Copies of this chain bind each other. A is one copy, B any other.
Amino acid sequence: MSCKFYGIGVGPGDSELITIKAAKIFEILDILYVPQSKNGKESIAKKIANPYLNKDILIKERYFPMNYNMDEKIDVWNSISKEIVNDVKQNKNVGFVTLGDPMIYSTYLYVYERLKDYIEVVTIPGISSFINIASSNNFPLVMDRESLAIVSCTDDMHRIYDVLDNFESIVLMKVYKNFKSIIDLIFEKGLEKSSIMVSNSSMEDEVLIKDLSEVKKMDSVPYFTTILINKTYNR
């Protein structure tokens, strides 16, 4: 069987929230690429995958810049994609771990786009952080005829304004960016009692905030912060 590239969603943080399928794929990998957001800092995705890795696997930690320098990012995506293509062409089964689900706001997608025409790609789904936050807090997302909008808070505020008016249920991702304006908007719309905010879902330093007025006093929120809003939910 020819070798492949596997993009593997490892879920939000807890090692038990990966799929059986993902765990089995870790067993057959020769090489695993692990994105690092800071040089030298242990990757969260690697920590999640650790219990399932075979002992002979070669780990390649690669630095992915998390800044606004597009040229630097593109250089990194290009060079890592080339390296992966070479590995697969030299008959290695190669994996790449990504937090949450690979198809939802992941760095994996930038690598995938660059190598998909050269090697066979298999993508394994994962539990996205918002999915886990909903279940962990028994917070229903959608029932019956309701609709759900998933929006990045790095988007324009008018979009966020719009979805708060027009959807029954809203997931706000990447809240770190405009969190003060976002919280103000939620209060302005009277949705604060239908909302919860969670940072670092299922990780050791998870923070759950049910009373959003607490956020008004904060100076910053962690990078992995998500707000769920459901108009039919009232605490």
Contact = CB atoms under 8 A, between A and B. Distances in A.
Contact of A105 (B110, B112, B143): B143
Interface stretch (A54-62, A146-154, A203-211): A146-154
A95 B65 CA distance: 43
A9 interface: yes
Interface of A: 7, 9, 11, 14-21, 23-24, 101-105, 109-110, 112, 116, 121, 123-128, 131-132, 134-136, 138-152, 154-155, 159, 162-163, 166-167
30 contacts: A7-B135, A16-B19, A17-B20, A17-B125, A18-B19, A18-B20, A19-B127, A101-B134, A101-B135, A103-B134, A103-B142, A104-B141, A104-B148, A105-B144, A109-B140, A109-B143, A112-B138, A112-B140, A121-B138, A123-B136, A125-B134, A125-B136, A127-B127, A131-B131, A144-B152, A145-B154, A147-B151, A147-B152, A147-B159, A148-B149
